[in-house]
Structure 1
Amino acid sequence: MKKIIAITSCPVGIAHTYMAAENLEKAGKAVGAEVKVETHGSIGIENELTARDIEEAAGVIIAADTKIDKSRFGGKPLITVGVQEGIHHADELVRDILAGKAPVYKSTEAIISSENKSESENLGKKIYKSLMNGVSYMVPFVVTGGLLIAISLTLGGTATPEGIKIPEGTIWATMNSIGSIAMGLMVPILSAFIAQSIADRPGLVPGFVGGMLAANGALYGSDANAGFLGGIITGFLAGFIALGIKKVRVPKALQSIMPIIVIPILGSLTVGFVFIYVIGEPVALLFSSLTHFLAGMQGGSEIVLAMILGAMIAFDMGGPFNKVAFLFGSGLIAEGNYSIMGPIAVAICIPPLALGLASLILKTKFTKTEREAGKASLAMGLFGITEGAIPFASTDPLRVIPSIVIGAMTGSVIAMLSGVTDHVAHGGPIVAVLGAVDHVAMFFVAVIAGIAVTVLMLRILKPTLQQTAVAAANGVTVADLSETETSDVYTKTETFDSITDIMSDEAIVLGETATTKDGVIEDLVQRLEKTAAITDKTRFKEVIYDREHESTTGIGMGIAIPHGKSAYVLKPTVAFARSQSGVDWHSLDGKPAHMIFMIAVPENSQGDMHLKILQRLSRKLMDDDFRQALMEAPDKTAVHQLLSEM
């Protein structure tokens, strides 16, 4: 019997990962081949391939929408497709491997991202995915560094004309240094993982080196670094340079050292020279020109100057434009002019505060990860750390940057016209609390006005996640479960042998179910309430809808799996509804849902209970005969018997 090995993975790592695995295994059995599938799910890597598995395999199938390291498959016939192909065309993939149609993979060739790289995928999509990869690794550094700096400034800082200073030798000074180091790694990490997404591991070193250059303006004669925009430039530059070097054919003797020596060294040198001599010098010239421009604005229109300063502060959030405006205002403090720093202090805090607030108010326009980052952004905004807005601007620059620029301009103009001044070289509400600001009331009026304008623009410009889910995710349908407050009701680790262990007959709805999505959700939530699985029907329904707003839970093939993780759930429970006519669930395949499984899991459920439930469902529901039997089951007893197989 021939053996095929495979890897399946989707960005969320729940339903589609296991659906593809199940179909590939079935396709192998149908033609007398053994298919071993390594799944990269939310729980981690399961059924891991061994060296022996790889050696014995006739070929490799990778059906994934995430990064997969393919270096271990050198010399093997290999097919790389998106996870949807693994679900819908598993038979063809297996036949192509057995028929010898798959190209042999060489580990020294360009390692293509394991996302769906069909010819129809355009460069824009590739760039977007690489940018998202960099941002996802950058966010923890922004949050950690920003919050450590904020705490140290609050508890150990003192307002001085040079800014908020922390006495040296104190624990707060040490904490501030640690936070500054973490924040300083933000740009290099962003750059490194953009490059890694494009060229895999060989792109990591050139990307990191390029990011360090972008974060150190002294290397190219600039008083300000290139900021996160510079990091994005170096990330893509390093990634495509490394990718280009990888495509160069070299003698076999050099192949083993290409990814660990040749590509990192050549890539780092190329990126370094290009950035220092081609990109860096214009950045330094820009810095100098902007400084002279602002100096020439003194004595002119206060409104125009305030608008320019506000726009510069918000535009790149710590980059050269931001630093020019900040240093311009700081320099005037030494001359006894505090009126310029006042509007700057207002503009500094508007981007992080506005985006933090927007992520809480406009929940349907921000992902769960962004909403979590929004809480940290709010905290950073209070302490004048503009960089808290960078994760949002990085993922959606065309909508976020104009919004925060106009908001910052609004706040800056109001502050200028109201005579708000700042006697220290720092910004944010903290300077007002510490008594460094004149006209405190108008300071906060200006801040609130700027936030309001920004949030309003975001409401208008940003689409809801449901509108963009299909295009952005290309098949991602099951995201992390929604969360609410922590519950102490359910703390033990639960196990179950089959789905029916956590499902009662009262939670099964057959022919009498509603005909609309809202109606089905209402019906199933009521069933959960009747079975004492939830404590608050209204609150749990909000959790279900929050999840639906992120992206549809209609996974196709007539199946929908709405789910929620909440403090209002007492025990893991599954409810089931069947509709012969079908319910429009906005499924990715455009077809109505006939079988709807609602999963309710306690907030602090242990043992990855929700993931195990989703795995069981998604694997079994790939069986065409099982789905047909479930649709034709005459009563609840028959349905219960079928579901006991899960």
Structure 2
Amino acid sequence: MKLVAVTSCPTGIAHTYMAAEALSEAAKAAGHELEVETQGSAGLDRLDPATIAAADAVIFAADVEVRERDRFDGKPTVVAKVKDGINRPAELIERAVAAAAEAPAASTPAAAVPAAGVSPATKAEEGASWAGRLRGWLMTGVSYMIPFVAAGGILIALAFLIGGPEIASKVNGGTFDGHTYKGVSDLTLILNQFGVAGVMFKIGATSFSMLVPILAGFIAYAMADRPGLVPGVVAGLLASAVGAGFLGGLIGGLLAGAIVLQLVRLDVPRAIAGVMPVVIIPLVSTLVVGFVMLVVVGKPIASATNGMTGWLNGLGDSNKILLGLIVGAMMAFDLGGPVNKVAYTFGLASLSAGNLNIMAAVMAAGMTPPIALALATVVRPKLFNDAERKAGEAAWLLGASFITEGAIPFAAADPVRVIPSMMAGSAVTGALSMAFDATSRAPHGGIWVVGLIGHPLLYLVAILAGIGVSAASVVALKSRRILVPSGDAVAAAAPSSRGVVAA
């Protein structure tokens, strides 16, 4: 059969392309033709319309909204999470083939067929569970927010590296020749006074200030399409203005999307219908969500956020170590999935509030799993097949760059042994990072931003300790199973088909 697929994940980096590769290999092994459209951080690798028209069925392996989904109308569709594209590609191929075989001959749109045990995550999916749709909306907002984190956060980190930690206080609200810095037009003044570091800080801070508005705007966009974007962004801006932060952005985005969904369902006269999308919906939805954010939601959330920040800043050493242990374990629990993203977002929120310890612990714990598995493939190569040993070669760089997803090929093949081993090491790293009072001014970058780490030598000790714990644990647990022959072509082609081999 001729099949097409779309893969997409919140970050648009690792999961998107790993799922595409796994599905392609599984289709090839089953004797079918498959072309994949990756909707990653680099944009859409758009399928040819003729290819879509000739396809017998479609697979959506996506955790965020599938863009331009209407191109696939009328095709039998299997909807799954992106992780299932990595872990269970053969099963998704089988379901697509079955859906194509059972599809009516008529050209009317066929209903989407969810994979077993999977909640559809795209906004247009009928019958999706409420939890599944909520997760999809939130992950869509996160996926659009992350590039702002990377650009703004790294620029700020480089500004601190070049200009020193005092650059923030100098630029924020500073004056030069009696003139107060206000906007981008004042970058020339900042350049004259503080040099490149000052300009980098100003640009990075501007990018970073867009995190909450972008998060809220694209949550609303995922819920209600384009009409949700304006009230969602405004809700995010108001959340930032009242100090409600990330949590306020989440609630504001959901609120904006819900209000727009109600407005678009109104039955209005034809004379009014023409101006609904461009005038009435954005006007009414923005007014309502703005009022609710300012009067009802914003202040309580801001108070709760300030209270949590104060509690975190006032924690004693023992509680800080426990917190580091928890966020470290979360980073390795699903290796880039929702739990990992919660821990990372918590680190970002803490960083923006001035608590630099948690971001350091989160980044260190996220670096540990890929490097530990890479080390394990070197120490005991016979415990891994050819595909895993090749993945180990890439995992050194991925781990050093704080791309936790580099551990996914190993976890997909043997989750029962790999995931607990990775959680143990990451928990140790997170706890030690907090115990050593390590700090990070950078929200990303891994080992390459070590110059922005407080107590860098102890920070490296924490990472090495976690790597040692994880590598030793996974080697010990895998030594109790039957070795997989290195030439096992089936295992290399479809790692998800290998169950855990009993001792």
Equivalence for 1:303? 317
For the residue of structure 2 that corresponds to 1:232, the secondary structure is helix
Question: Given residue 363 of structure 2, which amino acid in structure 1 is its aligned partner?
Answer: P
Distance 2:228 2:423 in 1: 28
Distance 1:238 1:177 in 2: 30
Distance 1:123 1:459 in 2: 41
Equivalence for 2:48? 46
Q: Residues 351 and 358 of structure 2 are in contact (CA less than 8 Å); yes or no, is this contact kept in structure 1?
A: no
Shift in CA distance, 242/164, structure 1 to aligned 2, threshold 3 Å: same
Equivalence for 1:613? none
- Residue 255, structure 1, aligned to residue 273, structure 2: yes
1:46 Cα deviation after fit: 0.9
Shift in CA distance, 307/456, structure 1 to aligned 2, threshold 3 Å: same
Distance 1:248 1:176 in 2: 46
Task: Note the 1:103-502 alignment, pairs <5 A.
Answer: 117=125, 119=127, 121-154=128-161, 156-160=162-166, 168-214=193-239, 216=240, 219-220=241-242, 222=243, 225-227=244-246, 229-286=247-304, 289=307, 302-303=316-317, 316-319=346-349, 326=354, 346-361=357-372, 377=402, 410-415=432-437, 444-445=457-458, 448-449=461-462, 452=465
1:170 Cα deviation after fit: 1.6
**Which structure 1 segments of 5+ residues have no match?**
1-6, 21-25, 27-37, 54-60, 104-111, 327-343, 379-399, 461-515, 523-543, 553-584, 588-646
1:242 Cα deviation after fit: 2.3
Distance 1:15 1:46 in 2: 21
1:124 Cα deviation after fit: 1.8
After superposition, the C-alpha distances for 1:280-309 in whole angstroms (9 at most, x for unaligned) are 1013323554677689x6xxx953575699
Q: Residues 76 and 103 of structure 2 are in contact (CA less than 8 Å); yes or no, is this contact kept in structure 1?
A: no
Shift in CA distance, 178/257, structure 1 to aligned 2, threshold 3 Å: same
For the residue of structure 2 that corresponds to 1:82, the secondary structure is strand
Shift in CA distance, 177/258, structure 1 to aligned 2, threshold 3 Å: same
Question: Given residue 282 of structure 2, which amino acid in structure 1 is its aligned partner?
Answer: P
- Residue 82, structure 1, aligned to residue 96, structure 2: no
Segment of structure 1 superposing worse, 195-204 or 401-410: 401-410
Q: Which has more radius of gyration?
A: 1
TM-score for the superposition, normalised by structure 1: 0.43
Q: Residues 62 and 78 of structure 1 are in contact (CA less than 8 Å); yes or no, is this contact kept in structure 2?
A: no
Q: Residues 163 and 426 of structure 1 are in contact (CA less than 8 Å); yes or no, is this contact kept in structure 2?
A: no
**Which structure 2 segments of 5+ residues have no match?**
8-18, 28-32, 39-43, 80-91, 112-119, 172-189, 328-342, 375-387, 404-421, 474-483
Distance 1:46 1:314 in 2: 37
How many residues were matched structurally?
Answer: 371
Selected match of 1:521 from 479, 489, 492: 489
After superposition, the C-alpha distances for 1:469-519 in whole angstroms (9 at most, x for unaligned) are xxxxxxxxxxxxxxxxxxxxxxxxxxxxxxxxxxxxxxxxxxxxxxx9864
After superposition, the C-alpha distances for 1:385-425 in whole angstroms (9 at most, x for unaligned) are xxxxxxxxxxxxxxx9999898656544444xxxx9x9xx9
1:132 Cα deviation after fit: 2.8
Sequence identity percentage: 24
After superposition, the C-alpha distances for 1:189-210 in whole angstroms (9 at most, x for unaligned) are 2332222222222222222222
After superposition, the C-alpha distances for 1:410-448 in whole angstroms (9 at most, x for unaligned) are 544444xxxx9x9xx9699999969x98xx5xx743674
Shift in CA distance, 253/135, structure 1 to aligned 2, threshold 3 Å: same
Q: Residues 217 and 229 of structure 2 are in contact (CA less than 8 Å); yes or no, is this contact kept in structure 1?
A: yes
For the residue of structure 1 that corresponds to 2:254, the secondary structure is helix
1:135 Cα deviation after fit: 2.6
Higher share of residues assigned helix: 2
Q: Residues 351 and 451 of structure 1 are in contact (CA less than 8 Å); yes or no, is this contact kept in structure 2?
A: no
After superposition, the C-alpha distances for 1:522-558 in whole angstroms (9 at most, x for unaligned) are 9xxxxxxxxxxxxxxxxxxxxx95x855xx4xxxxxx
RMSD value over aligned CA atoms?
A: 5.8
Distance 1:178 1:15 in 2: 39
1:213 Cα deviation after fit: 2.7
Shift in CA distance, 404/246, structure 1 to aligned 2, threshold 3 Å: farther
Distance 1:68 1:315 in 2: 24
1:177 Cα deviation after fit: 2.2
